[in-house]
Amino acid sequence: QKIEMGDYDSLDQDFDSQEIEKIAHNAVNATFSENSVYNKDKVNVWCNQVIDYCIKEFIKLRKKFKYSVTCIIMQRNGAGLQTAGCAFGDANKDGMLSVQMATNTFNCIVTIFAFGI
C-alpha cells in the first residue's frame, strides 16, 4: 500500500505522553525488578538495555519525531540526586517526560525528549 502525503494526519504529530510513559515503564520493568541489587558490572548492561528498548519501541511507533533518551542509575547511599531538563523548541510539537523507579539499592531515572519534525 503506497503511503501518500496526505496519510499523515494531525494525530500522528501529537506527542502522546501516555504511550511514551508506558513504553518507558515497560523498558524499566523488563530490565530489572524491585529486588535487583546494584551491581557495578551489570549497571552498564542495564543502562544500555533500558535505552535500547525505549528507542526501538519509539521507532516502531513510526511517528515523525526525533527522540533523545537519557537513563541515570545511581546507587542509594544517602546522597542526593537532582535532574533538570529544559528545551528550546516548539511548544506545540515537542514534549518531554521523565519516569522514575527505585529499588532498595538504587534509583533509576529515565528522561525522554521528543522533537516533532
Q: Does residue number 113 form part of the binding site for another protein (CB under 8 A)? A: yes
Supply the minimum distance, in Å, between the C-beta of residue 22 and another protein.
18
Phi-psi region of 62 (alpha: psi -120 to 50; beta: other; left: phi over 0): left
Q: Does residue number 38 form part of the binding site for another protein (CB under 8 A)? A: yes
Q: Does residue number 11 form part of the binding site for another protein (CB under 8 A)? A: no
Q: Does residue number 62 form part of the binding site for another protein (CB under 8 A)? A: no
Q: Does residue number 90 form part of the binding site for another protein (CB under 8 A)? A: yes
Nearest Cα neighbor of 81 from 89, 73, 90 is 73
C-alpha neighbours within 13 Å on the C-beta side of residue 108: 27
Q: Does residue number 97 form part of the binding site for another protein (CB under 8 A)? A: no
Supply the minimum distance, in Å, between the C-beta of residue 46 and another protein.
8
Grid coordinates standing for 62?
Answer: 513510526
Rounded Cα gap, residues 94 and 108, in angstroms: 24
Nearest Cα neighbor of 100 from 110, 92, 90 is 110
Contact footprint for another protein (CB under 8 A)? 38, 40, 43-44, 46-48, 50-52, 55, 58-59, 66-90, 94, 96, 111, 113, 115
